[in-house]
């Protein structure tokens, strides 16, 4: 399984219009593209940072879709009032889902730098930590995306509510440090988002 993430720096005043466009126009269009298995949208209403992630059943399907996806992506960026979108491609290395996300769900996203030679070790470390992550109050799901070429990884942990996410910050910090240390990587950034659209059909990959 693979994923393509699109980061848009939106105008805060345009976020609701952008969410509606992704939900009502982008999602139906992408689900008609061969190999697409869903889409999620994270938004930060304070900073305007929005991240749409599409999941694909193979790398070849993801790459073949670029021509169809590009105009859809450009139009979405316009609806958010943003400029040129940043696009990244990933391997979906692990995903564990306890239950479907409810309305009001939020996600904490951690970007890590992991030497390409240590990518497999990092994946094993993340999987070994899943039982601990799952014990966090309000846990819904966790995923790990990896770009082996550039030595980058992204961990996303979704919670039932913003309150649950905020209550787990101290625990998550300890887990994050442990994962980075054991994986031989370094934490680059941590950010928290509202999960505005959740329509991923990625199977369990823990």
66 and 127 assigned to the same domain: no
155 and 180 assigned to the same domain: yes
User: Which domain covers residue 47, as residue numbers?
Assistant: 1-84
Is 202 a domain residue? no
Global pTM reads 0.94
Cα dihedral 109/111/115/119 (nearest 10): 20
Residue 205 pLDDT level (bands cut at 50, 70, 90):
confident
pLDDT tens-digit profile of 47-68? 999 999 999 999 999 999 999 9
Q: What is the pLDDT of residue 161?
A: 97
CA distances from 120 to 18, 107, 127, 179, 182 (A): 36, 24, 11, 13, 12
Distance CA 71, CA 76 (A): 9
Is 204 a domain residue? no
Domain-ending residue, one of 29, 61, 84: 84
CA 10 to chain centre: 17
64 and 119 assigned to the same domain: no
Domain-ending residue, one of 84, 103, 126: 84
pLDDT tens-digit profile of 87-123? 999 999 999 999 989 999 999 999 999 999 999 999 9
Domain-ending residue, one of 52, 68, 84: 84
Angle at 79 between CA 65 and CA 68, to 5 degrees: 15
CA end-to-end span of the chain? 13
Q: E strand or H helix at 85, and its extent?
A: none
């Amino acid at each position: 399984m693979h994923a393509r993430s699109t980061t848009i720096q939106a105008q805060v005043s345009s976020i609701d219009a952008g969410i509606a466009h992704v939900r009502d126009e982008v999602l139906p269009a992408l689900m008609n593209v061969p190999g697409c298995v869903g889409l999620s949208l994270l938004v930060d209403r304070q900073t305007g940072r929005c991240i749409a992630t599409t999941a694909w059943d193979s790398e070849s399907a993801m790459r073949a879709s670029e021509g169809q996806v590009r105009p859809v992506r450009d139009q979405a960026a316009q609806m958010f009032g943003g400029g040129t979108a940043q696009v990244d491609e990933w391997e979906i290395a692990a995903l564990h889902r306890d239950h479907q996300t409810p309305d009001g769900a939020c996600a904490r996203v951690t970007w890590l730098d992991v030497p390409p030679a240590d990518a497999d070790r990092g994946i094993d470390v993340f999987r070994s930590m899943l039982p601990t992550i799952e014990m966090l109050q309000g846990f819904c799901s966790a995923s790990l995306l990896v770009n082996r070429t550039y030595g980058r990884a992204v961990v996303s942990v979704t919670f039932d509510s913003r309150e649950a996410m905020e209550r787990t910050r101290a625990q998550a910090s300890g887990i994050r440090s442990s994962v980075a240390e054991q994986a031989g990587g370094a934490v680059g950034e941590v950010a928290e988002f509202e999960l505005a659209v959740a329509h991923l059909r990625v199977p369990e990959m823990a």
